[in-house]
């Protein structure tokens, strides 16, 4: 029987039930059913002793004797309680229904095998409504193996599709197809990693012979699942590199060199230099660059972006940098303009608040090519914004933008072809990679660097939200990744403490001392307006109490929040930047990228309300100058366990990657930026967090295979090629990220 056949081919599956299984669980073909894995198992292969019971062991099997049975009155009716003991301890068996009948049938001081779901309450264990079997009976029977339990829905259960029925369907199916299940990995991989063969893995994941068999089966299937995803991502990356052409920035020219020699205000860190090299290599290769730059807050990504833009300009192209907020766009604009003073480079800014007349001017100078660098917000994505020859597009804080928005930047050159045709090659399932890693010489000499030509700009996306390495492999596995893992010299780690609201007075005292030293401070609130949840610290309330504590004219306060007009925000922001105000009361609008080196204290009100990455971002606003900086996390007394972990993590480390790891563990991949589009949430059996090691093994294997045999033409890789083609054709392709 072919695995592509609908499940009605399986004995006992009616058309009605097949329809139901499809609508409820998405199971259509035999293959779907075979890959519908149990979510847990009833394990009757193991016996526990009472002493070894753990509050988390769900179903247990124990041998012991009932020593006493009694009825216990409770609010409504009564319950039947039996004291059950083995050589190691005592526990209870409890019944709420059928008490009389059970009471009569229970035998005292006779060995039983008891099985059931374990409850743990007030330090003692009990099993409600256990399965009971006399040991003498138990010994007569053939011992059952571990039983699979499948996810179900109310509709299915109501229509009689019980777990038992599912088991029998799958059992029938396995009997019919077992011999025909094809291996999808090469013998080399199986040998190297000592993997279970596919058919045995499928058999044992549904009907495990033992815990050990189950573990091996699960490992094999998780590996396989992650391997084929990685194969696809790694391959896409190789195809991008070798097939999608990009402008060649052939020379490092006058602008770049002049800036580097005469205008760079500091020496680049080694990490910055390394990343710059990686970018230069990309843009000189003739292939299209699609690179992610990760770097903690304050690591100095902007200057790297600027140098990359100068490379483009030196080669006759334009450059653009897009930021998620006006504040940040303004800041980039100011920084870039200042850094480029006297260099004869035209820089402008386009945001939602730019007036029509000015807008027209920008559009025109862009199309004429006289405007070299355009900084902006989402406004850059409007159709009217067209470039003469956009060489590089940089996206700051990329996770703030949707995939579609980022994709729009591909088409910004006047005669760009539509994006799909550019991408077609990358998606086509036919394996036609040129051999080896280097780019083909003949391709390189094609005239694709022509100014105003039809190529997409190089793309550099930047993020200060570090993504744990393993997650990045899945989410950005087809991008090249650069990391700035070093802060500029002289930075002192921000001292972070957690204080309760009741300490506010001493915190304010501390602020006064810092302000007296000439420093500036941020006070951040989680919400803009009083919400239904009354315990939120309202920004305005906060502002008033701060204003009382820090009276004018001695103290000047800025306030910035999301509901202000951009011009007002900017005005307040500028006052703070210029040092006219010492205190910035704000909501999280200042979270992203704002740079005021003289600010040395960050107070976060209701810190328990913030997620870890947000807290880390906020803290990153200080510690940018030479002074010792502080972050004070204020919270109420009542904290959830998770909130405690978050606050503790913040006080213990300033390493963004470590924080990201904790965040991932706390919240799972579903809440981490970027994962929603990536498919990591649709995994059938693997888990990107828990199975990180398997993921690394899968990726390394995929890289090794493709490096050795890019087109999978070697006979030993035939099983992989066959399986891979089948998968890509059924279109379970992960969406593209940038
Ligand atoms: P982020 O990576 O968070 O965007 P920025 O690019 O805003 O960081 O840089 C943070 C600050 O560090 C800026 O004031 C910038 O001028 C400064 N900076 C960047 N690189 C260096 C360096 N190599 N040495 C000293 N200061 C640097
Ligand atoms: Mg930045």
Per-residue pLDDT tens digits for 679-730: 666 788 998 878 889 999 999 999 999 999 988 999 999 999 999 988 876 5
Contact assessment for residue 632 and residue 609, using Cβ atoms and an 8 Å cutoff:
no
Residue whose Cα lies nearest atom 22 of ligand 1: it is 488
Give domain status of residue 206, yes or no: no
What pLDDT is stored for residue 451 in this prediction? 38
Q: Residue 462: is its pLDDT beyond 50?
A: yes
Residues in contact with ligand 1 by the CB-under-6-Å rule are: 266, 268-269, 272, 295, 297-303, 464, 488, 593, 595, 597, 624
The candidate with the shortest Cα–Cα distance to 29, out of 47, 48, 45, 10, is 10
What percent of the chain shows pLDDT beyond 90?
A: 56
pLDDT category, 430, cuts 50, 70, 90? very low
User: Does the N-terminal peptide bond of residue 209 adopt cis geometry, omega within 30 degrees of 0?
Assistant: no
- Which bound ligand lies closest to the C-alpha atom of 297? 1
Q: Cα–Cα distance between 682 and 549 in angstroms, integer? A: 52
Same domain, 457 and 323: yes
Measured CA to CA, the distance from residue 542 to residue 546 in angstroms comes to 6
Nearest alpha carbon, ligand 1 atom 26: 488
Domain shared by 468 and 564, yes or no: no
| pLDDT range class, residue 211, cuts 50, 70, 90 | confident
CB atoms < 10 A from the CB of 4, how many? Answer: 12
Rounded Cα distance between 364 and 379, Å, is 15
Give residue 624 CA to ligand 1 midpoint distance, Å.
Answer: 8
- Cα of 462 vs centre of ligand 2, distance in Å, is 8
Is the pLDDT assigned to residue 416 strictly greater than 90? no
Confidence of residue 589 (pLDDT cuts 50, 70, 90): low
Confidence at 671, pLDDT banded by 50, 70, 90: low
User: Which residue's alpha carbon is nearest to atom 16 within ligand 1?
Assistant: 300
311 and 396 together in one domain:
yes
Question: Is 40 inside any structural domain?
Answer: no
The pLDDT value recorded for residue 455 is 84
On whether residue 353 sits in a domain, the answer given is yes
Any idea what the CATH number is for the domain that residue 455 is in? 3.40.50.300
- 506 φψ region: left (φ > 0), alpha (ψ -120 to 50), beta (else): alpha
Going by CA atoms, what residue is nearest to atom 27 of ligand 1?
Answer: 488
- Report pLDDT for 607: 94
Boundary-marking domain end, from 653, 682, 707: 653
Which residue range(s) make up the domain with 587? 495-653
Residues 46-73: what's their mean pLDDT?
89
| Substitution candidate for ligand 1 out of 269, 300, 621 with most atoms within 8 A of CB | 300
Q: Which ligand is nearest to the CA of 483?
A: 1
Mean pLDDT over each residue of the chain, to the nearest integer: 85
Which of 613, 637, 653 is the C-terminal boundary of a domain?
653
Residue 444 has pLDDT above 60, yes or no: no
Sign of torsion, CA 598 601 606 612?
Answer: positive
The total domain count for the chain is 3
Do 314 and 457 share a domain, yes or no? yes
Residue 377 in domain: yes
Go through 103-140 and write b for each residue having 16 or more CB atoms within 10 A of its CB, e for each that does not: eeebeeeeebbbbbebeeeeeebbbeebebeeeeeeee
CATH code, domain with 55: 2.40.50.140
- Alpha-carbon distance of 558 to 580, in angstroms, equals 9
Is residue 461 domain-shared with residue 522, that is, in the same domain?
no
Q: Which atom of ligand 1 is nearest to the CA of 484?
A: 2
Query: Which ligand 1 atom sits nearest the alpha carbon of residue 490?
Result: 25
Task: Give the number of whichever ligand sits closest to the CA of residue 299.
Answer: 1
Give the residue, out of 269, 270, 292, 298, with the most ligand 1 atoms within 8 A of its beta carbon, to mutate for a pocket test: 298
Query: At 590, is the pLDDT very low, low, confident or very high (cuts 50, 70, 90)?
Result: low
Ligand 1 nearest-atom number relative to CA 267:
23
Q: Which helix (H) or strand (E) holds 34?
A: helix 30-34
More confident residue, 408 or 67: 67
| Residue appearing with tokens 């480029």 | 340
Higher local confidence (pLDDT), 131 or 416: 131
Asked if pLDDT for residue 549 goes beyond 50, the answer is yes
Last residue of a domain, one of 624, 653, 682: 653
Nearest CA owner, ligand 1 atom 9: 300
Alpha carbon nearest to ligand 1 atom 25, residue = 488
Range 315-331 average pLDDT = 92
pTM above 0.75? no
Domain assignment present for 634: yes
Q: Is residue 669 part of a domain?
A: no
Q: Is there a domain that residue 640 lies in?
A: yes
Domain match, 286 and 341 both: yes
Kindly state whether residues 547 and 646 are assigned to the same domain.
Answer: yes
The pLDDT, as a whole number, for residue 402 is 67
pLDDT digits (tens, 9 = 90+) for 67-114: 999 999 988 889 999 999 999 999 999 999 888 889 999 999 999 999
198 part of a folded domain: no
**Shared domain check, 540 and 471:** no
Q: Are residues 340 and 480 in the same domain?
A: yes
Question: Who has greater pLDDT, 688 or 449?
Answer: 688
| Pure H helices in 605-678 | 612-619, 641-652, 656-667
410 plus 511 within the same structural domain: no
Burial of 64 (0-12, 13-18, 19+ CB in 10 A): buried
User: In terms of Cα–Cα distance, which of 111, 71, 121 is closest to 91?
Assistant: 121
Element (H, E) at 333: helix 326-339
Ligand 1 center to 301 CA (angstroms): 7
Same-domain pairing of 286 and 360: yes
Whether residues 545 and 587 fall in one domain = yes
Give the DSSP letter string of 226-247: HHHHHHHHHHHHHHHHHHSB--
């Amino acid at each position: 029987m072919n695995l592509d056949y609908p499940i009605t081919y399986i004995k006992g599956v009616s058309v009605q039930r097949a329809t139901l299984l499809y609508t409820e669980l998405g199971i259509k073909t035999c293959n779907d059913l075979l890959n519908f894995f149990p979510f847990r198992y009833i394990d009757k292969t193991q016996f526990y002793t009472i002493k070894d019971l753990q509050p988390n062991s769900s179903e247990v099997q124990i041998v012991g004797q009932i020593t006493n049975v009694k009825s216990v009155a409770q609010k409504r009716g009564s319950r039947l309680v039996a004291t059950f003991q083995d050589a190691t301890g005592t526990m209870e068996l409890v019944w709420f229904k059928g008490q009389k009948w059970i009471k009569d049938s229970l035998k005292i001081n006779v060995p039983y095998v008891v099985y059931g779901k374990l409850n743990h309450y007030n330090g003692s264990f009990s099993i409600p409504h256990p399965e009971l079997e006399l040991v003498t009976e138990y010994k007569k029977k053939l011992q059952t193996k571990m039983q699979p339990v499948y996810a179900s829905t109310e509709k299915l259960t109501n229509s009689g599709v019980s777990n038992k029925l599912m088991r029998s369907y799958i059992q029938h199916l396995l009997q019919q197809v077992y011999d025909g299940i094809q291996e999808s990995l090469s013998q080399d991989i199986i040998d190297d990693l000592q993997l279970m063969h596919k058919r045995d893995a499928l058999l044992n994941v549904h009907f495990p012979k033992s815990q050990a068999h189950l573990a091996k089966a699960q490992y094999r299937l998780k590996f396989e699942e992650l391997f084929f995803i990685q194969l696809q991502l790694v391959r896409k990356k190789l195809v991008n590199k070798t097939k999608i052409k990009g402008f060649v920035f052939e020379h490092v020219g006058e602008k770049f060199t002049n800036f580097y020699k005469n205008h760079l205000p500091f020496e680049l860190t080694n990490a910055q230099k390394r990343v710059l090299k990686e970018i230069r290599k990309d843009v000189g290769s003739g292939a299209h660059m699609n690179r992610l730059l990760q770097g903690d807050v304050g690591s100095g990504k902007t200057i790297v972006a600027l140098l990359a833009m100068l490379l483009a300009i030196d080669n006759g192209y334009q450059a653009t940098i897009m930021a998620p907020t006006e504040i940040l766009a303004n800041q980039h604009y100011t920084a870039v303009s200042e850094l480029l003073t006297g260099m004869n480079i035209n820089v402008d800014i386009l945001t939602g608040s730019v007036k029509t007349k000015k807008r027209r001017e920008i559009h025109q100078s862009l199309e004429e090519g006289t405007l070299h660098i355009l900084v902006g917000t989402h406004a850059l994505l409007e159709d009217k914004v067209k470039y003469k020859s956009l060489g590089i597009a940089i996206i700051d804080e990329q996770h703030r933008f949707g995939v579609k928005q980022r994709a729009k930047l591909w088409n910004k050159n006047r005669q760009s072809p539509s994006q799909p045709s550019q991408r077609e090659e990358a998606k086509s399932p036919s394996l036609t990679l040129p051999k080896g890693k280097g780019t083909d010489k003949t391709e390189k000499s094609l005239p694709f660097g022509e100014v105003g030509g039809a190529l997409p700009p190089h793309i550099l996306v930047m993020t200060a939200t570090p993504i744990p390495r393993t997650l990045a492999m899945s989410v950005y596995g087809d991008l090249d990744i650069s990391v700035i893992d070093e802060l500029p010299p002289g930075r002192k780690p921000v001292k972070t403490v957690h204080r309760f609201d009741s300490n506010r007075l001493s915190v304010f005292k501390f602020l006064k001392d810092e302000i007296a030293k000439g420093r500036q401070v941020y006070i951040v609130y989680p919400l803009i307006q009083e919400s239904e949840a009354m315990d939120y610290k309202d920004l305005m309330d906060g502002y008033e109490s701060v204003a009382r504590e820090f009276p004018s004219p001695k103290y000047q306060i800025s306030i910035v929040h999301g509901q202000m007009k951009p011009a007002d925000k900017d005005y307040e922001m500028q006052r703070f930047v210029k040092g006219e105000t010492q205190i910035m009361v704000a909501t999280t609008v200042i979270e992203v990228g704002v740079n005021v080196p003289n600010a040395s204290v960050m107070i976060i009100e209701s810190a328990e309300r913030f997620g870890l990455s947000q807290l880390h971002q906020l803290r990153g606003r200080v510690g940018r100058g030479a002074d010792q900086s502080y972050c004070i996390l204020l919270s109420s007394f009542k904290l959830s366990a998770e909130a405690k972990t978050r606050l503790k993590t913040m006080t213990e480390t300033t390493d963004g990657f470590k924080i990201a790891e904790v965040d991932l563990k706390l919240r799972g991949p579903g809440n981490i930026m970027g994962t929603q589009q990536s498919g990591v949430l649709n995994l059938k059996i693997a888990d990107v967090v828990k199975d990180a090691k398997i993921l690394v093994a899968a990726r390394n294997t995929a890289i090794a295979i493709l490096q050795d045999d890019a087109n999978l033409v070697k006979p030993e890789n035939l099983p992989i090629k066959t399986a891979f083609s089948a998968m890509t054709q059924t279109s379970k392709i992960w969406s593209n990220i940038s």
